[in-house]
Amino acid sequence: MITLTIDGRRVGAFEGETVLEAARRVGIEIPTLCYHPALSPYGACRLCVVEVEQRGRRRLVVSCLFPVEEGLTVWTDNERVRKARRGVMELLLARCPNVPAIRELAAKMGVQEPRFPLEDEGCILCGLCVRCCEEISQAHAISFVSRGPKRMVATPFEEPSEVCIGCGGCAYLCPTGFIRIENGFIKIGDRVIRELSPEDSRRVKDALGAAEK
């Protein structure tokens, strides 16, 4: 067992755990939009940033990727952390200004209007859908395509997918609703991927739910 300090509280953690996992296990909430316990960590949204002191050096790190170690000191909600999260939230709000979930989270963090040029995207590129499709469904039906400002989640050639099993895991995990189930079909934006399969849907939901317990 490893002992670290989170927000002044001594916390026991297991070898191989991340700071985010250790904090959540003892009821310390750290915001995130790209983490799920059933999936490999990705560190895309950056909202789970915390400050750590390690061997006398203090710095900001992404808690979903940063491993615990003996004697580590962590701050999850000091002014430096809050300022960093507000900056990240401004970028997300600028990208997705019309997504209710993003606007609500931004308001909780005190971000009303971003300083950056507004876009009109529905996807924050969190990667939850891609990882679920690869790691849980194992269908590999969707992936990230392109780079830079053109980067997006799509099926090959943005066409309905023949390898998609119709489980809907991507839609269940999508934090913005950009991927959704509508009238029995799974859609990315306005594009239909495949008809929902109730049997595969139950299987994937069970796998995701079991990891959250």
**How far apart are alpha carbons 175 and 105 in whole angstroms?**
11
Cα 75 to Cα 4, 29, 36, 134, distances in angstroms: 11, 12, 22, 33
For the chain, the domains span 2-109, 128-212
* pLDDT band for position 179 (cuts 50, 70, 90): very high
| Tens of pLDDT, residues 127-165 | 999 999 999 999 999 999 999 989 999 999 999 999 999
Q: Which two tokens stand for residue 55?
A: 């061997």
Cα 20 to Cα 1, 161, 171, 185, distances in angstroms: 16, 35, 24, 34
* pLDDT band for position 171 (cuts 50, 70, 90): very high
What's the chain's average pLDDT? 97
pLDDT, residue 114, reads 93
- Cβ of 97: how many Cβ atoms within 10 Å? 16
| Tens of pLDDT, residues 12-21 | 999 999 999 9
Q: Which two tokens stand for residue 135?
A: 């790691």
Cα 81 to Cα 47, 53, 73, 132, 161, distances in angstroms: 10, 13, 14, 29, 41
pLDDT, residue 10, reads 98
Q: In DSSP terms, which residues pair with 153 in a beta bridge?
A: 144
Top-tier CATH class for 2-109: alpha beta
Rg (CA), the chain: 18
pTM comes to 0.94
Question: What would the mean pLDDT of 168-174 be, rounded to a whole number?
Answer: 98
pLDDT, residue 197, reads 98
